[in-house]
Structure 1
Amino acid sequence: MEPTIYSRFKELVNNDPDHPAVIDERTCVTYAGLDRLVDTLISRFPSFIPARVGIVMDHSVEMVAAMMAVIKAGAAFVAVEPDFPPGRLVTFLVENGVDFVITQERHAGLLNDFKRLIIGNEIYIDPALHPLPDRSRADRPAYIIYSSTPDGYPLGVAVGNSQVLHFAESFKKTYNISGDDILLQFSACIMNIFIQEIFGALLSGAAVAIPSAATRNDPEKLVKFIDDQYVTVISGFPYLMMELNAVKALPVTVRLLISSGDVLHAASIGHLLEQVPVYTTYGPAEATVSVTTYCCNTGLVLPDGTFPIGKPMNGTDVMILDENLREVAPGQEGEICLVGDGLADYYTGDHRADLQPFAVIADGRRVFRTGDMGRQLSDGNYVYIRRKDTEVNILGKKVVTGEVERAIRKSDEVDDCTVVHYTDEQGSAYLVAYVVPKTKSFRLSWVKNTMAQYVPAYMIPEFFVLLKALPTDAAGVVNTFALPVVLKDSKAV
């Protein structure tokens, strides 16, 4: 049989059962201990052979055990953060047809409409419980990760066991991950970097260290956690790199930083480059995690102050194609397209038909159209230029302005609106909403309260501008160039 995530993990359990696997702020579990937790959870599953299982949990040892249990049971996990807006959370789980949801008591009230497996922090492991059969298969999805269409409707990306193994092996080789490493788990579970943090560690014989939400949100506490847990590898979005760059000195155990999810600005990591190797990477959820990598320490800084996204690292080819899926001339701008074994299996959700980015090129290979524009440099490295659509990264998280606009329009206070993103002096994106109010008694607090029911806080625009009408062009489309520009100082809070 072809290997799966669980079968590879089980090899590591057998090879070094007492090696630390997952560390959080309460406890540490070994590879063998995590494996026993996995069987214990499977024995409590309310469905005998599930297909899809929701996971709505705080990041912890138990959350990692739940993910591995779902995979061993032959199912795909659908993980969502507990602080997701309730409507958004429930919609995504319903659209993916989860058989049940694994959660903790403090979050159970969010999931009253689902069959639930509620677990506590102290899971009793029955010593008489025999190892349960491994039902995982290489050709089955391992997880479904949250994404959205260009119009901002929720979408799931189904990624298989084989794709995760393919990435994990490449990740291990590229960054020399070994049993001596401890990787920080920082990212939200709806981001593909989360997959890198968890499986990049557990499929390489390394350990993963998980800080609490309070620690993640406090840079000083986070650095102390990194120091206390001897973390060696940190991956995260550019805004995390900016926060670490402001620290006087990284803990001495840190040997490597990996930035993902957005372009990396040289000005934001100058101090870090003096201390450790810093890599920037590129890759959408449809490519599992990252496809390219670039070492910034000895690298080229582009005229706009960013770094290239690098060269392919995991066997997935990168091509720059035109609208007709033909390769452009060297150095010319085109759409970044991906070809190879690391691509996702399919989309899930009610709006999957709205997105058709997979195509077949002239040589018969399946290609994924990322929607990102880029070009290739003469040295073979690739450069990200911009998005084709209205997608933008805010605090390292993907935001589609169309979804923000729909959330604003749900308020009775709003007659019409459009949302535009700008960048500050450090290259960080921020949102501005241009709103046509229904009445003179417009209340912004009511609009924000309504939005909070449908979108997370990072998707609520920083600035709202009231207009009598939205400017349009001859075709009746909003003319964004005629909107008043709202500037933000990069140091503004």
Structure 2
Amino acid sequence: MMENTIYNRFKQIAASQPDAIAIVENGRKITYSQLDSLADAITTLFPKKHAGRVGIVMNHGIEMIASILAVLKSGAAYVPAEPSFPPDRIKFMMEEADVDFIIVSPDVKPETGATPLLEIAPGLKAEGNTDNATVVEISPEGTAYILYTSGTTGKPKGVVINNRNVCHYADAFEQEFHTAPGDVMLQYSVCSFDIFVEEVFTTLLNGATIAIPPESAKSNLSELMKFVEAHGVTIISGFPYLLLDMNKLPEIPKSLRLLISGGDVLRGSYIDRLRETGVEIYNTYGPSETTVCATYQRCDNIQPLDDGTFPIGHEIKDVEIMIMNKKMKPVKPGGRGEICILGEGVGEGYLTTVPESANFTTLPDGRRVYRSGDLGYRLPDGSIAFLHRKDDQVMILGKRVEREEVENVINAIDDVEEGVVEAYVDSQGLSYLVGYIVPRYARFSFRRLTEKMKRNLTPFMIPEFFIQMKSLPLTPNGKVDRKALPKVFKEGQL
């Protein structure tokens, strides 16, 4: 059966509203029926036999979304990476996921060793080219995608999410936000983050329209807002820093009805002016391991907590959250503990065995639970307040970073004798990384160091500041004394 799978849900929408616009870009648009036909056409280019995983390393656009749908239609799972990612990181992801081939844009040529590339260029003709389109039986439990996040082993780890997880999330999103034909969702996120999943699938599986801005607009707020206005965007989902930037504008596009913040803490100061516009604003929470979000909290109509942050809210449809102690027992009402997530959103786990696999566990009653590693507590109204991580993981620009992964990369570089990474918080409550380096050689080049780091780490994972040390301070038992490291203050902190 193909029930409750991503592609079947999309096919049903395409059949019910074939002429509705599915995707718009600058100067381009495609209807649901045309997008379905384009996905069919792309599947005809696939190898006759493939094991079930396909890489996606493409520029954002109609062809990228169609290629993802084509992979899902063929019964396979997609493994996404941005073309701008470090070459060694892309290579590692694709090799570990054992993809059969990688779909690329014409100007994208990742270093993939022996893995073949399939180039999909704009303008591929869908009409009359779909007789040989792949037709397979898709299971709701079949893997939909594998997202790579930072890992404690020094290598990224692949999170496995199935079709049922995504379809459930599309239903939960619609129940809360009433997404429907006429809505236009901005596609702003990178493809390797789960906000992208929210942008694409909660839109296409509910009959709305995706609007993809040019790359230049993603780094230019004025240009981005002009795009939003021109294309009638009604929903933006992004990191709190995007809302913080929008909060500084004299006005925002009148088409907007909903702003969704996720990926990091949302503070009252980030949206104090936006709260006066009449737009609904939500704070959301959920690790990639639980399929985008597990909780929602509307914020434009409430006041922040005493620490200036907003709660992460109540559980979404068919999700349960328990606040547990170290022994995995529920804490007393209002007590602090680890946020543990149960229900339809919990993913399959990790692609390979990694230390974090222990975070997927089973309760005595047989229910699967994901231990988030985040600490929080219930408020009197039943909503949840987020406190902080219980480990060394930090959020940089809304993306999870394991300090240990960054440290491992630094210490694998020949020029480095020793290196550690510390995280600090600036005056706006945003985390930043500082690298402390003991050079191996007298003639040490930080430029060469960062060039080598860029081979394995995405830009947000590279420390914002570096300090050259003669030696690292140690505790009496011989460990690095992180409290004794010289702190780097950003402007406005003193």
What is the TM-score normalised by the length of structure 2? 0.96
Q: CA deviation at 1:379?
A: 1.2
Is contact 1:322–1:335 with CA below 8 Å preserved after alignment?
yes
Contact preservation (8 Å) 1:300, 1:308: no
Report the counterpart of residue 76 of structure 2 in structure 1.
Answer: 75
Alignment: residue pair count: 491
Which residue of 331, 335, 339 corresponds with 2:338? 335
CA deviation vs aligned residue, 1:356-415 (integer Å, no higher than 9, x gap): 211112322111111111111111111111112221111122211111112222333211
Q: Does 1:313 align with 2:313?
A: no
Per-residue CA deviations over 1:195-238 (Å, capped at 9, x if unaligned) read: 00000100010011111222111111111111111000000001
* 1:115 corresponds to: 116
Give, in angstroms, the shift of residue 3 of structure 1.
2.2
**What whole-Å deviation, never above 9, does each CA across 1:47-90 have from its counterpart, x for those lacking one?**
43441000000111001001111111001000111111000000
For structure 1, which runs of at least 5 residues remain unmatched after alignment?
Answer: none
Alignment correspondent of 2:199: 197
Aligned equivalent of 1:347: 350
Which one is further off, 133-142 or 337-346? 133-142
Distance 2:434 2:348 in 1: 35
Matched, 1:482 2:447: no
Aligned equivalent of 2:400: 398
For 1:322, the equivalent position in structure 2 comes to: 325
Q: How far, CA to CA, are the matches of 1:124 and 1:165 in structure 2?
A: 29
Q: Indicate the larger mover: 111-120 or 63-72.
A: 111-120
Check conservation: 1:401, 1:419, Cα contact below 8 A: yes
CA distance in 2, matches of 1:146, 1:236: 19
Contact 2:166–2:291 (CA<8 Å) still a contact in 1?
Answer: yes
Q: Quick check: 340-349 or 106-115, which moved more?
A: 106-115
Measure how far apart 1:489 and its partner are. 2.5
Aligned residue for 1:458?
A: 460
Matched, 1:432 2:434: yes
Q: C-alpha displacement at 1:26, in angstroms?
A: 4.3
> Distance in 2 between the 1:412 and 1:286 partners?
35
State the secondary structure of the residue aligned to 2:107.
helix
Contact 2:240 2:263 in 1 (8 A): yes
Task: Note if contact 2:154-2:409 (Cα within 8 Å) is conserved in structure 1.
Answer: no
Which letter maps to 1:366? R
- Partners of 1:134 and 1:208 in 2: how far apart? 27
Residue in structure 2 matching 1:286, options 282, 286, 289: 289
CA separation of 1:377 and 1:41: change in aligned 2, threshold 3 A: same
Distance 1:332 1:260 in 2: 24
Give the counterpart of 2:172 among 170, 173, 183.
170
Q: How many Å apart are 1:123 and its aligned residue? A: 0.6
Q: Assess, with a 3 A threshold, how the Cα gap between structure 1 residues 353 and 265 changes in structure 2: closer, same or farther.
A: closer
Equivalent residues of 2:186, 2:237 under 8 A apart: yes
Q: Distance in 2 between matches of 1:25 and 1:50?
A: 36
Q: 1:134 to 1:227 in 2, by over 3 A?
A: farther
Q: Percent identity?
A: 39
Matches of 2:84 and 2:73, distance apart in 1 = 27
Where does residue 444 of structure 1 map in the other structure? 446
TM-score, L = length of structure 1: 0.96
Give the equivalent residue in structure 2 for 1:53.
54
What do residues 270-304 of structure 1 show as CA deviations (whole Å, max 9, x unaligned)? Answer: 11111111100000011101010111112231222
Q: Alpha-carbon deviation of 1:148?
A: 3.0
Counterpart of 1:97? 98
Give the equivalent residue in structure 2 for 1:34.
35
Instruction: Give 1:124-273 correspondences, 5 Å limit.
Output: 124-127=125-128, 129-130=130-131, 132-273=134-275
- Asked whether the equivalents of residues 157 and 285 of structure 1 are also in contact (C-alpha less than 8 Å), the reply is yes
Aligned counterparts of 2:489 and 2:306: Cα–Cα separation in 1: 22
Unaligned runs of 5+ in 2: none
Using the alignment, how far apart are the partners of 1:431 and 1:64 within structure 2? 34
Secondary structure of the 1:23 match is strand
- Check whether the contact 1:282–1:293 (CA below 8 A) recurs between aligned residues: yes
